[in-house]
Amino acid sequence: MIKKFIDKLLGKSAGGAQGKSRFGKRQEVPAEVHKIDPALVDERARNVVTTLQQAGYEAYVVGGAVRDLLLGLRPKDFDVATNATPEQVKSLFRRAFIIGRRFRIVHVVYGRGREHEVIEVSTFRAYMDNAAAEQVAGNERTSKGELASMKHAVDASGRVLRDNVWGPQEEDAARRDFTVNAMYYDPANQIVVDYHNGIRDAQKLTLRMIGDPATRYREDPVRIIRAIRFSAKLAALGFKMEAKTAAPLVESSKLLADVPQSRLFDEMLKLLQTGHAIATVEQLRKLGLVTGIYPLLDVVVERADSPFVKAALQDTDRRVGEGKPVAPSFLLACVLWADVRDGWAQRVEGRHGQRPQPPFPALQDAIDDVFNARIGDVSGRGKLAADMREIWMMQPRFDKRTGSTPYSLVDQARFRAAFDFMRLRADVGEVSEAIAEWWQEFSTADDVRQQDLLEQVRDEQKTRQRVRTRDPVAPKPSRGEPAARQRQPDAESRQDDEAEIEVDAGAMPPDGEAAAPRKRRRRRKPRTAGGGGGGSGGEGGGSAAAE
């Protein structure tokens, strides 16, 4: 009793207990117990591990890939952990690049173009006590010069700004977030190294934070978003977040205010583009985090039940599940379309005492307002903003199915994205289903069939013109379109909508601002044999998420 009391005063028992719980106990689990199928391991990840081991280093497949392998799933991404430094790793591979400042890692690249694969290689990191870390008063941006020479630094709130101190494997395991993500698999001898009962938690379908959850969220608030992402991803398999891990989430979410907006934007896209967007919205609501993570994510959650946004989220999940590429520009364009559409209609119709504007300038101004209010400078005015603008600016052009407009439209680089956006609008009744079907056929037809389709439109217009001559009652505007656009005379009688004044969506300045409308002479575009297929695969809908 006296010895225990003295040990307590000297901090021995506390330190020992803390060390035991912090670093855990190494367990080497053989293949007959974990039952991982070696055939599920990516050959390029295996090659990275083998190359490092042959050079005399320790190397393992690590993280979520091991978790998925234990569950009998084929991982989409493979990470490798080693005791080699980034410079030593880079020297062993022909195409390897050191990236990052906060966490320096190496990307080993295989293949080129869309088919390339990146194996991320990290060095075992030491478990550093934040109390012993160097502290800066500002953040990454304001303290950039001060942080340049630091290996382990935190800000005033305890958030880790630098963590590049190398250490043994057991300490590397302790600094990972969840137990099911802290296991190491050696494909050579097929053992799993487990320090924190990750295999047990995987079997019990439990998502549990290593260490004290509140402390871990404070070290890196982005772990809050990772907790949401993993719980959404694993919910379909029956995983549930441990109560102690979930309890501090709402209170800790305030710490996200100190995280750079660009990093939060990237993490938001991961939530929505990993194939579990619908499940993510459900988890955010379940955990009480419908607001406060990131303003644009708040909009997604708010509109997730609306038919158009729900269809876009479901379509994104479907494409990811089928192994097809997705683009953030398409999904964000869907989420913010209601703002663009309403602002467009307001300007065209001259609501609230405003002077009515022509359709295209009105659409441009509405888009500018949405970018300023919802996107800001996080994505700059670069490719993402330019792609969103093109998708929106092409929407009124789908109403013009005469002259050279259909030919020029299907040749636009973003036609497939814009068409699939319009296809979703048709699915929810915002656009005529007949128009969507016409464009689907026109974009994949040969020259003869395209001419037939154009003749069909001209015949329909002549029929409508005769009907209007007998009954001059204006047609009722279709849902979702500005009323002033519906009051425009027939395209033939107005020389294809004011002599085809339109925005060339492919001529965007570098800053993403739309070019001014310009007048073009109408002429028939020469067609080559077999031309006219502007889509990327001719899929009937949903292929728009591809870049």
Residue keyed to tokens 């379509």: 315
How far is C-alpha 47 from the chain's CA centre?
29
Please indicate, yes or no, whether residues 192 and 211 belong to a single structural domain of this protein. Answer: no
CB atoms under 10 Å from CB of 376, counted, come to 13
Please indicate, yes or no, whether residues 272 and 339 belong to a single structural domain of this protein. Answer: no
Please indicate, yes or no, whether residues 278 and 350 belong to a single structural domain of this protein. Answer: no
The answer to the question of residue 170 being in a domain is yes
What the block records as the tokens of 6 is 């003295």
The answer to the question of residue 519 being in a domain is no
Task: Tell me what the pLDDT averaged over the chain comes to.
Answer: 81
What the block records as the tokens of 270 is 């991961």
Please indicate, yes or no, whether residues 185 and 265 belong to a single structural domain of this protein. Answer: no
- Comparing 52-56, 209-213, 377-381, 431-435, which segment has the lowest mean pLDDT? 377-381
Please indicate, yes or no, whether residues 100 and 178 belong to a single structural domain of this protein. Answer: yes
User: Which of 42, 68, 172, 177 is labelled catalytic?
Assistant: 177
Measured distance CA(180)–CA(201) in Å, rounded: 7
The answer to the question of residue 441 being in a domain is yes
* Paired strand residues for 209: 178
Please indicate, yes or no, whether residues 81 and 173 belong to a single structural domain of this protein. Answer: yes
With bands split at pLDDT 50, 70 and 90, how would you rate the model's confidence at 10?
very low
What is the pLDDT at residue 477? 53
**Does the annotation count 342 as an active-site position?**
no
Span 13-39, pLDDT tens digits? 333 444 445 688 999 999 999 999 999
Please indicate, yes or no, whether residues 357 and 418 belong to a single structural domain of this protein. Answer: yes
The answer to the question of residue 145 being in a domain is no
**Does the annotation count 369 as an active-site position?**
no
What is the pLDDT at residue 374? 85
Please indicate, yes or no, whether residues 172 and 187 belong to a single structural domain of this protein. Answer: yes
User: Which of 79, 172, 201, 497 is labelled catalytic?
Assistant: 79
3-state SS of 225-250 is HHHHHHHHHHHCCCCEECHHHHCCHH
Provide the edge-to-edge strand list for the sheet that holds 27-29.
27-29, 191-194, 183-186, 59-62, 79-82, 117-123, 105-110, 96-99
With bands split at pLDDT 50, 70 and 90, how would you rate the model's confidence at 480?
low
- Comparing 126-140, 390-404, 483-497, which segment has the lowest mean pLDDT? 483-497
Mean predicted confidence (pLDDT) in 336-355: 90
User: Which of 77, 266, 411, 490 is labelled catalytic?
Assistant: 77
The answer to the question of residue 100 being in a domain is yes
Please indicate, yes or no, whether residues 277 and 351 belong to a single structural domain of this protein. Answer: no
Mean predicted confidence (pLDDT) in 429-441: 94
Span 175-224, pLDDT tens digits? 899 999 999 999 999 999 999 999 999 999 999 999 999 999 998 899 99
Residue burial 47-68, b: 16+ Cβ < 10 Å; e: rest: ebbebbbeeebbbbbbbbbbbb
Residue that terminates a domain, selected from 442, 465, 488: 465
Span 227-280, pLDDT tens digits? 999 999 999 999 999 999 999 999 999 999 988 888 899 999 999 998 999 999
Q: Does residue 542 have a pLDDT over 90?
A: no
CATH number at residue 37: 3.30.460.10
CATH number at residue 237: 1.10.3090.10
The answer to the question of residue 451 being in a domain is yes
Measured distance CA(40)–CA(74) in Å, rounded: 5
Please indicate, yes or no, whether residues 179 and 213 belong to a single structural domain of this protein. Answer: no
Mean predicted confidence (pLDDT) in 330-346: 95
The answer to the question of residue 510 being in a domain is no
The answer to the question of residue 10 being in a domain is no
The number of domains in the chain is 3
Please indicate, yes or no, whether residues 98 and 209 belong to a single structural domain of this protein. Answer: no
Please indicate, yes or no, whether residues 116 and 28 belong to a single structural domain of this protein. Answer: yes
Range of the domain at 348: 328-465
The pTM of this model reads 0.73
**Does the annotation count 79 as an active-site position?**
yes
Residue that terminates a domain, selected from 203, 225, 254: 203
Mean predicted confidence (pLDDT) in 164-184: 91
> Quick one: which of 433, 385, 438 has its CA closest to 410?
438
